[in-house]
Chains A and B, each alone.
Chain A
Amino acid sequence: MKFYLGGVYMTLELFLQHLANGISLGSLYALIAIGYTMVYGILRLINFAHGDIFMMAVYFAFFGVVTFGMPWYVSFIVAIALTGILGMTVEALAYRPIREAPRISILISAIGASYLLENLAIVIFGGRPKTFPQVPIFTDMVQIGNIHIQKLTFMIPAVTIALLIVLMYLINKTKSGMAMRAVSKDFETAKIMGVNVNRTISFTFGVGSLLAAVGGIMWGLKFPSILPLMGVMPGIKCFIAAVIGGIGSVTGAVIGGFILGIGEILLVAFLPELSGYRDAFSFILLILILLFRPTGIMGEKISEKV
């Protein structure tokens, strides 16, 4: 099977390599998009600081290994925990005080929190790129025939699916999950029913940030150059992924992530002259989905409550 495409004869082998690359990138997007969509699903708030919390997690893990000399697994766990705390702190400082304010105020506050984290990172960590430690059991390559795949490519989807199962269980089967769902429907009523709204929202942010941290560490392992502004593009891409999947839907976020990741790789692979426009591709996709299916692929069909 051979056909001429993208300036090269596309063989099955070449196509499979591209597909592997796409799945690898897509699963990473999916992982980060889950956190985005979860916070939105519960709070109806687009947490623009998500990408920056993701960046902080990568730095925490970096300092754990490089500066404090911890073994990678200890460092990663500490980084994930710290990021959870950071997420709750951001919520307590930037969102809780204006809980009663119109949604637009909270949105602006989220953008402010994002800038604050970015600039703090530039001041504290410096503007020069740092090299994320390479952990061979994640970063080694596996060769199948002539196709080279990084071990991470298998691990990220596994981690994503595992987290998805835990999250589904958390949201649908536990008491905290029930509280989260109640809060997502109506703050006031939930409060009357005895749900501690502040604690539930704080918990939601904590979980969302943990997910960002796992995504960030995987990202750092795959793309080992880390910068204070590294969260911006993944943040936007994963927001797009969440919208494509139907913002608020966790499975939708996973689907959206894969569509975006595989789509980007195949665009560059088949239309190399357009490869400078790969970011534009994501934005065009966002516009199209908003025009023709604003609720996304898995979006809720109910209209906004009045």
Chain B
Amino acid sequence: MKKLLSLTLVVVMALSLLTGCAQPAPAPSGEPAAPAEEEVIKIGVFEPLTGANAAGGELEMEGIELAHELYPEVLGKKVDLIVVDNKSDKVEAATAAARLVEKEKVVAIIGSWGSSLAMAAGDIVRNAKVPAMGTSCTNPLVTQGNEYYFRVCFIDPFQGVVMSNYAFNGLGAKKAAIVQEVSNDYAVGLAKFFTDNFKKLTGDENSIVAVANYNTGDQDFTAQLTNIKAQNPDVIFAPGNFTESALLIKQARQLGIKTPFIGGDTYETPEFAEIGGDAVEGVVFSTFFATEKPITSESTKFLDAYKAKYPGKEPAAVTALGYDAYLILIKAIEQAGAADSASIHKALLETKDFQGAAGVVSFDENRNAIKSAVIKTIKDGKFTFMDVVEP
């Protein structure tokens, strides 16, 4: 009896480990696998579906799945989405990407939310020569020097300029403090571009009065914030993951810091507004797309389909990017007339003026999309459009 019990327990535990590695993907549309191997086109998706960035990954999945439902076929073949969870972890992200190219033999990859996660997959897609389409990973290094990585979003040098301009012109700030998620390439990069441009705008080398760091997963920021409070900045720029950022701003308000907080695209998740509550009212950040400003006819199509599928919900900007990442691959396959990685790669390099839900995409020499940024704020717990900034 005892033996049996411990044996079952061992099996259960072993299985639990397995579920950890092979998170059953949220099934694309529940259809069974197609009969013959050649008749389906496999597109891999690697997104953080668990861990600290899970909300971001799920928002992008909504968009990817929506696009898959609207465009389930290309060249008369069915498209299969192979979804793997990169667990918000750099090591897992590399494993997830390797699994997609080696085991699943996908022709192209979509993902990921989070620049660090995308960068972890960089070498794998380059060596396998499988084109990858970044969704909202904005750090320049994701695509730089990697001719197989593309993305449908703008990059941080632009976002940093947008936010520092806003701080200087919009808020009239002369002294800024930075709190960055130091283990996150996105946050560190964005903070640097913000710093560079803010110094240029103010003409003052000492205009950044404090720089504080924290790690992914940290929950206590009181020490950093107490020091920043003593410096009395006009604005605090805090790029980082949404959970940490929300807790950070909450703790800042609790410590009596009334300085405005501004940030980047990662803020736009429902969890940010929910965890932050009253504390994040009035926080301003840059992002990719606003539902108030549909840009193309595809935007309208996306918005209608989204509202039909998720009644009462507003799509996040990254959801539109997930949608675009899928669609741009489908269009490339269509244009190439073939669904092998090399043809898709070639077609992507030639892509011009792709009409996506989150704007028109043309790639620059580093395969980054050149498009406008949107500034949003939080008003009554909702993300509200403020301004649009052209590149």
Q: Are B50 and A268 in contact (CB under 8 A)?
A: no
- Which residue of chain A has the shortest Cβ distance to B52 in the bound complex? A227
Q: Which of A3-11, A191-199, A282-290 contacts B (4 or more CB under 8 A)?
A: A3-11
Of the listed stretches A14-22, A57-65, A181-189, chain B binds A14-22
Separation of A181 and B297 alpha carbons in the complex (Å): 74
B104 at the interface (CB under 8 A from A): no
Q: How far is the CA of A267 from the CA of B220 in the complex (A)?
A: 13
Query: A109: which B residues are within 8 A, CB to CB?
Result: 9
Partner of A275, one of B12, B212, B230, B243: B212
Given contacts A8-B227, A14-B226, A14-B230, contact A225 B247 (CB under 8 A): yes
Q: Which residues of chain B come closer than 8 Å to A11, judged between CB atoms?
A: 230
Interface flags for B244-262 (1: CB within 8 Å of A; 0: not) read 0011001000111000000
**Does B16 lie within 8 Å of A224, measured CB to CB?**
no
Q: Could you tell me the distance in whole angstroms from the C-beta of A288 to the nearest C-beta in chain B?
A: 21
Chain B positions 271-295 with a Cβ under 8 Å from a chain A Cβ: 271, 274-275, 277
Contact of A25 with B230 at beta-carbon distance under 8 Å, contacts A275-B212, A276-B182 already known: no
Contact between chains at A228 and B50 (CB < 8 Å): yes
Residues of A within 8 A of B219 (CB): 223, 225
Q: Contact between A269 and B275 (Cβ–Cβ < 8 Å)?
A: no
A127-B230 CB under 8 A given contacts A119-B16, A148-B256, A223-B219: no
Assess the A8–B231 pair: CB atoms within 8 A.
yes
Chain A interface mostly helix, strand, loop or mixed?
helix
Indicate whether B156 reaches chain A with its CB closer than 8 angstroms.
no
| Chain A residues near B183 (CB-CB < 8 A) | 276
Which of under 10, 10 to 19, 20 to 34, or 35 or more describes the interface residues of A? 35 or more
Across the interface, which residues of A come within 8 angstroms of B274, CB to CB?
131
* B20 beta carbon closer than 8 Å to chain A: yes
Q: How many A-B residue pairs have CB under 8 A?
A: 137
Task: Tell me if A74 counts as interface (CB < 8 A to partner B).
Answer: no
Give the number of chain B interface residues (Cβ < 8 Å): 49
* A97 pairs with B226, CB closer than 8 A: no
The A-contacting residues of B in range 33-59, CB under 8 angstroms, are 49-52, 54-55, 58
Which A residues lie within 8 Å of B5 (CB)? 93, 97
CB distance from B46 to the nearest CB of A (A): 15
Q: Confirm or deny: B222 has a beta carbon within 8 angstroms of a beta carbon on chain A.
A: yes
Provide the residues of chain B in CB contact with A128, threshold 8 Å.
54-55, 58, 271
B391 within 8 A of A: no
Name the contact of A21 in the complex, choosing from B211, B226, B231 (C-beta under 8 A). Answer: B226
Verify B227–A119 contact, CB threshold 8 A.
Answer: no
Q: What per-residue 1/0 map shows which CB atoms of B205-228 lie under 8 Å from chain A?
A: 000001111110111101110110
How many angstroms from the CA of A129 to the CA of B210 in the assembled complex?
29
How distant is the Cα of A123 from the Cα of B277 in the complex, in angstroms?
A: 27
CB of B127 within 8 A of chain A? Answer: no
Instruction: State which residues 173-228 of B face A: CB under 8 Å.
Output: 182-183, 210-215, 217-220, 222-224, 226-227
- Chain A's closest residue to B10 (CB) is A112
Contact call A272/B275, Cβ cutoff below 8 A: no
**Partner pick for B218 among A93, A227, A229, A278, CB 8 A cutoff:** A278
Question: Contacts A7-B227, A265-B222: A127 and B51 contacting too (C-beta < 8 A)?
Answer: yes
CA distance A97 to B13 in the complex (A): 15
Question: Do the beta carbons of B226 and A269 come within 8 Å of each other?
Answer: yes
Residues of B close to A176: CB separation below 8 A:
none
Given the complex, which residues of A lie within 8 Å of B222, measured CB to CB? Answer: 18, 21, 24-25, 265
Contacts A/B (CB < 8 Å), 29 sampled: A7-B227, A8-B227, A14-B227, A97-B9, A112-B10, A112-B13, A113-B13, A116-B16, A119-B20, A120-B16, A123-B19, A127-B49, A127-B51, A128-B55, A128-B271, A129-B52, A129-B243, A129-B271, A223-B247, A225-B243, A225-B271, A227-B51, A227-B243, A264-B223, A265-B220, A266-B223, A269-B226, A278-B218, A279-B215
Binding site for A on B (CB under 8 A): 2, 5-6, 9-10, 12-13, 16-17, 19-20, 23, 49-52, 54-55, 58, 182-183, 210-215, 217-220, 222-224, 226-227, 230-231, 243, 246-247, 250, 254-256, 271, 274-275, 277
Known contacts A134-B277, A272-B212, then 15 further A-B pairs from the complex at CB < 8 Å, ordered by chain A residue: A8-B230, A8-B231, A17-B255, A21-B223, A93-B5, A94-B9, A115-B17, A115-B20, A122-B20, A127-B49, A128-B271, A129-B271, A225-B247, A265-B220, A272-B213
